[in-house]
Amino acid sequence: MSPLRKANPLRVPLESLLEDGALMVTPSLALWLAVVAADPDMPVRRADWRRNAENTARELTRRVGADMVTSPQWGGTWKGLIEALGVSRSTLNNLLRWFKEKGYVRVLATGSTIVTRRHLWLGRTRQIGDGFGNLAAEYVLTVPRAALAALRLPVEELAALAERPDEFADPVEGPRVVTQDEWREAPWPVETLPAPPVDRSCTPYGRLYVLKKYLLPTRTREKSGRPAQISQKPENPDTPPVRSHPAPESIWPNTATPETRKQRLLACRRLRAENMTLRGLSERHLRSLLRVPFSLGATLADVKYMIDHRPDGTPWLYDDKPHHLAGWLRYRLAPWIGEDGTLRAPLPSRAAAEAHRRHLARQAARRQEAARLRAERADPDPDLVAETRARLAAVRRSCAERREAEAAEAIYRIPRTRPRLSPKEDPLPQDEVSRHRASIARAVAKAADLAARKRAEAAARVRQAYQRTNLANGVAPA
């Protein structure tokens, strides 16, 4: 444990988090990163999710000590992780929930403040300090023993990793025991209720609630005399909390032009949800900057294309994060919209619609031309048709005869020392015919001898391969 870190009194025993030996505190950060990278969910997820998960894993390893527990002094807080990753609180919450479900992270202590630690309250309005102030959540990096098989390491190395004791982990202190003096004036009876699901800010929290009549008012409505609401336990605790943020496509469609101020605000909300660079601008500031393109009839898809591309279709080169977002956005829109508020180039949706209209017009013209040609087509001359068919039949017969002659010549072909004699000329002498037959017999014998040698060489190669295989497998030759 780091000497700069004060022991968190809300830590739970580490043995209760390891699920009876199914998990183990990672012996090294390299092993933990390798197990996370080899998870079966990684290949089937989207590229941006994989990138965020890998970056989150690396940032967690940079914020742990020798006991593999995150340290707030090293930036192991939600604020530090959000600034390092450049993601929203909801994205970080979803990523940490995935790490918990897979068994790569276990919550050693939840984050709390002096207000949320209500078991230190005395009476209704008076509270005492415990010397700890605000406590950040602490996570311990764990590795499921079943996930080690996905690394495909040797059996001996896997066995050594699985049986290695957690020598780097410091003894974890249990929860702080409150003395009787501190509980003397505490409101009784008390009960611990489950924390409600993640709210819109997606910040998980846990509190110790007292009964209804002892609850302090936390909202204006409760001061008016209305009974305080206590969250009830969900029917199925394994069911994940419902996502409070709507999907970007349900906020505003890409192909619609926002006309009213409210519609433009919704369009800017979706644009900020999908473009991380524009999240540095508020929705209202972004609506003010995009007022001109929206008033010219640009859709949300047009605005996205205009930000990322020039009018000739070439994409902008992405370098570092812009320092002045408003000026950067005006610079990106300047090639499309002039200083007088008019379009310098047609909107991408209008250009695509015009190209589609021209394509449909060309298709209609081709269909009309084909219909006209079919209508003007007349019957051919019968005599010309008969003559053409006769010529085609003669050509087919001559081709068939030529093919038969070539086949017969290929079968009975013999080597010749002089050109073939025509049927009207004298036949070859008897001695020349005998010499030709002898040469044919020698060629046939030579071909048979060559084929026999090739078969013998192939059989020898097969025997040699079989012997090498037996030697490699440790089988003695027969």
> pLDDT tens string for the chain (478 positions)?
444 445 666 777 777 777 777 888 888 888 888 888 888 888 888 989 999 999 999 999 988 888 888 888 888 888 889 988 889 999 999 999 999 998 899 988 888 777 776 555 444 444 445 566 778 888 999 988 888 766 777 766 666 555 554 433 333 344 444 455 544 444 444 443 344 444 444 544 443 333 333 334 445 544 444 444 434 444 454 444 444 456 666 788 988 999 999 999 999 999 999 988 899 899 999 999 999 999 999 999 999 999 999 999 899 887 678 889 999 999 999 999 998 989 999 999 999 999 999 999 999 999 999 999 988 888 888 888 888 899 999 999 888 888 887 776 666 555 555 555 555 555 566 777 777 788 888 888 888 888 888 888 888 888 888 787 777 776 665 5
Domain co-membership, 212 together with 319 = no
Domain co-membership, 175 together with 49 = yes
* Residue 53 belongs to some domain of the structure: yes
Strands 105-109 and 138-144: antiparallel
Q: Name the burial class of residue 268, with classes exposed (0-12), middle (13-18) and buried (19+) by CB atoms within 10 angstroms of its CB.
A: buried
Tell me the CA distances in angstroms from 357 to 131, 137, 363, 364, one per residue in order.
73, 59, 10, 11
* Residue 212 belongs to some domain of the structure: yes
Domain co-membership, 106 together with 202 = yes
Domain co-membership, 209 together with 255 = no
Domain extent for 256:
248-333
Domain co-membership, 48 together with 114 = yes
Residue 363 to residue 111: CA distance in whole angstroms: 66
Domain co-membership, 201 together with 262 = no
* Residue 429 belongs to some domain of the structure: no
* Residue 144 belongs to some domain of the structure: yes
CB contact set of 307 (below 8 Å; sequence gap of 6+): 275, 329, 332, 333
* Residue 71 belongs to some domain of the structure: yes
* Residue 403 belongs to some domain of the structure: no
Residue 58 to residue 186: CA distance in whole angstroms: 44
CB atoms near residue 280 (< 10 Å): 16
**Of 7, 24, 99, nearest to 59 (Cα)?**
99
Domain co-membership, 170 together with 273 = no
Q: How many domains does the chain divide into? A: 2
Domain co-membership, 254 together with 310 = yes
Domain termination site, one of 313, 333, 353: 333
* Residue 167 belongs to some domain of the structure: yes
Q: What are phi and psi of 320, to 5 degrees?
A: -80, 170
Q: What is the pTM of this model?
A: 0.35
Residue 196 to residue 232: CA distance in whole angstroms: 8
Domain termination site, one of 199, 219, 239: 219
Domain co-membership, 175 together with 100 = yes
Residues 128 and 89: beta-carbon distance below 8 Å? no
Domain co-membership, 270 together with 207 = no
* Residue 41 belongs to some domain of the structure: yes
Query: Concatenated DSSP letters for 17-38?
Result: GTTTTTEEE-S-HHHHHHHHHT
